[in-house]
Structure 1
Amino acid sequence: MDDGRTIDGKAFLSPPKKGRKVAIFGDTQARPQAVCVAQNADVLAHEATFTAGDEETAERVFHSTVADAAKLALQANVQQLYLTHISARYTEEEQRLMLERQAQTIFPASKVVGDFDVFDI
Structure 2
Amino acid sequence: MDDGRTIDGKASLSPPKKGREVAIFGDTKACPQAVRTAQNTDVLAHEATFAAGDEKTAKRVFHSTVSNAAKLALQANVKQLYLTHISARYTEEEQRLMLERQAQTIFPASKVVGDFDVFDT
Which TM-score applies when normalising by structure 1? 0.92
1:72 match: 72
Compute the RMSD of aligned alpha carbons: 1.4
2:59 match: 59
Q: Please say if 1:81 is aligned against 2:81.
A: yes
Unaligned runs of 5+ in 1: none
Check 1:32–1:4 CA distance in 2 against 1; reply closer, same or farther (3 A cut). closer
1:105 match: 105
Kindly provide the CA deviation profile for residues 58-107 of structure 1, in whole angstroms up to 9, marking residues without a partner as x: 01101000000000000000000000000001111111011001000000
1:34 match: 34
Amino acid of the residue matched to residue 50 of structure 1? F
Unaligned runs of 5+ in 2: none
Kindly provide the CA deviation profile for residues 8-50 of structure 1, in whole angstroms up to 9, marking residues without a partner as x: 4234212211132110000000112200000001100000000
Q: Identity, % of aligned pairs?
A: 88
In structure 2, C-alpha distance between the alignment counterparts of 1:114 and 1:51, rounded to whole Å: 16
In structure 1, C-alpha distance between the alignment counterparts of 2:33 and 2:7, rounded to whole Å: 48
Figure out how many residues of one structure are paired with residues of the other and give that number.
Answer: 121
Which TM-score applies when normalising by structure 2? 0.92
2:45 match: 45
Choose 63-72 or 8-17, whichever is displaced more: 8-17
In structure 1, C-alpha distance between the alignment counterparts of 2:13 and 2:100, rounded to whole Å: 40
Choose 11-20 or 85-94, whichever is displaced more: 11-20
In structure 1, C-alpha distance between the alignment counterparts of 2:111 and 2:95, rounded to whole Å: 13
Give every structure 1 segment of 4 or more consecutive aligned residues whose post-TM-superposition deviation is greater than 6 Å: none
* Helix, strand or coil at the partner of 1:24: strand
